[in-house]
Structure 1
Amino acid sequence: MAEIKFEIQKSIGAISESAKGWKKELNLISWNGREAKYDLRDWAPEHEKMGKGITLTTEELKKLRDLLNNMEL
């Protein structure tokens, strides 16, 4: 399996934290040297391991923001 390389260019914030210290974070990440995208996933305390996540372009993130702002909670 090929090694996945990533660079967290900007940490935006954590949404939650598990009892084991893993945090669900929103970050701006460059994967394998590509253009950075917004990324939401679980991370181990020192970012040495990661869970499955979702990546979004700026346009997709704006659309998600608009959808969330229009939700009735």
Structure 2
Amino acid sequence: MAEIKFEIKETVGTLAQSPKGWNKELNLISWNGKEPKYDLRDWAPEHEKMGKGITLTIEELRKLKVLLNDLDL
């Protein structure tokens, strides 16, 4: 399996922390040297391991924001 390279360009924020110390974070990440995308996933404390997550372009993130703003929370 090929090594996945990433660079966290910007940390937007942390949504939650698990009892084991992993953080659910929204970050702007460049994967394998490509254009950065917004990324939501769980990370180990020093970003040495990661869980499954989703990546979103800025357009997808804007659409998600509209959907979330329309929710009655």
Report the residue type matching 2:33 in the other structure. G
Report the residue type matching 1:71 in the other structure. L
Q: Identify unmatched segments of 5+ residues in structure 1.
A: none
SS of the residue corresponding to residue 60 of structure 1 reads helix
Pairing 1:33–2:33 present: yes
Cα RMSD (Å) of the superposition?
0.3
Q: Any runs of at least 4 consecutive aligned residues in structure 1 with deviations exceeding 4 A, and if so which?
A: none
Q: Percent identity?
A: 74
Aligned to 2:20: 20
Q: Identify unmatched segments of 5+ residues in structure 2.
A: none
Q: Provide the aligned length of Structure 1 versus Structure 2.
A: 73
Alignment TM-score, normalising by the size of structure 2: 0.99
Q: Distance in 1 between matches of 2:22 and 2:9?
A: 19
Task: List per-residue Cα deviations over 1:1-23 (Å, max 9, x = no partner).
Answer: 10000000000000000000000
Q: Distance in 1 between matches of 2:46 and 2:52?
A: 16
For residue 72 of structure 1, report the CA deviation from its aligned partner.
1.0
Report the residue type matching 2:4 in the other structure. I
Q: Distance in 2 between matches of 1:64 and 1:13?
A: 16
Aligned to 1:47: 47
Alignment TM-score, normalising by the size of structure 1: 0.99
